[in-house]
Amino acid sequence: MKDKVVVITGGSSGIGKALAEVFGSRGSKILITGRKKGPLDEAVAELKAKDIEITGFQSDVSKEEDNESMAKEAIRQFGKIDILINNAGISMRALFEDVDLEVVKQVMDINFYGALYATKYCLPSIMDNKGSVIGISSIAGFRGLPGRTGYSASKFALQGFLEVLRTEMLKKGVHVLTACPGFTASNIRKSSLTADGSQQGESPRQENKMMTAEECALHIYKATKKRKKYLVLTGQGKMTVFLNKWFPGFMDKIVYNVMAKEENSPLR
């Protein structure tokens, strides 16, 4: 990965920031994006202090024109793009019957269309370099989670897009990885949207018992090096994917009961 140019959307914190450190510490040149200038600048400064060659680019992944500008900036700074990691994402928690549909649209705009736009504008350079497109999906892209309508829908859509892209790129030398973490400690649940679009604030899950963002990033790094097609993380995640394929009715009950145990769960 030395001297590879890696673009990471949503790189200010969590898995995105951990990915920037993992790739950057191994000699990759990094461009991370973020919507908020303050956290973006802080992340860049922290990673530069670790001798990582990195630049930040303020952008909103849900806006097509921002993604076009991002790709141009990466090529202006580093001359090429080898790897795109579609990491930017947002979650939500509310029953479908209660949720404002604008919340679902906002989640889709970031999680699905954001990846679509970023890939569209980075792909030409990635094709030239026979590089990689990576999508950070979720176990929720294999198994719909109650109370997470927009999130699960966006991840199912993302996985369909990545499968199409992987097939289209089969003879063109481009590697496409669908990475599916299980529950991972990050900021995503704190900024998760509620039924009316306001932020949840506190995570309803025990973050200290989850896989760390750093562990997750290292798994994704290794899968990228090996040019794997799928990466499903955590034992719980692998079991969920397997059982849901063969015993969907049974899993409806199991998943309902697990999610209903969350603090302040909307499931009644």
pLDDT tens string 14-49: 999 999 999 999 999 999 999 999 999 999 999 999
Give yes or no for a contact between 234 and 183, defined as CB atoms under 8 angstroms apart. yes
The per-residue b/e assignment along 243-253, b for 16 or more CB within 10 angstroms, e otherwise, is ebeeeeeebee
State the catalytic residue, choosing from 113, 117, 121, 151: 151
Listed by start position, the domains of the chain span 5-260
Is residue 121 part of the annotated active site? The answer reads no
User: Taking the model in full, what pTM does it have?
Assistant: 0.92
The whole-angstrom separation of Cα 115 and Cα 109 is: 9
* Torsion, Cα of 35, 149, 194, 84 (10° steps): -10
Structure tokens at 80: 């090429």
For 165-186, give the DSSP string. Answer: HHHHTTTTT-EEEEEE--SB-S
pLDDT tens for 215-227 read: 999 999 999 999 9
Fold entry, domain 5-260 = Rossmann fold (3.40.50)
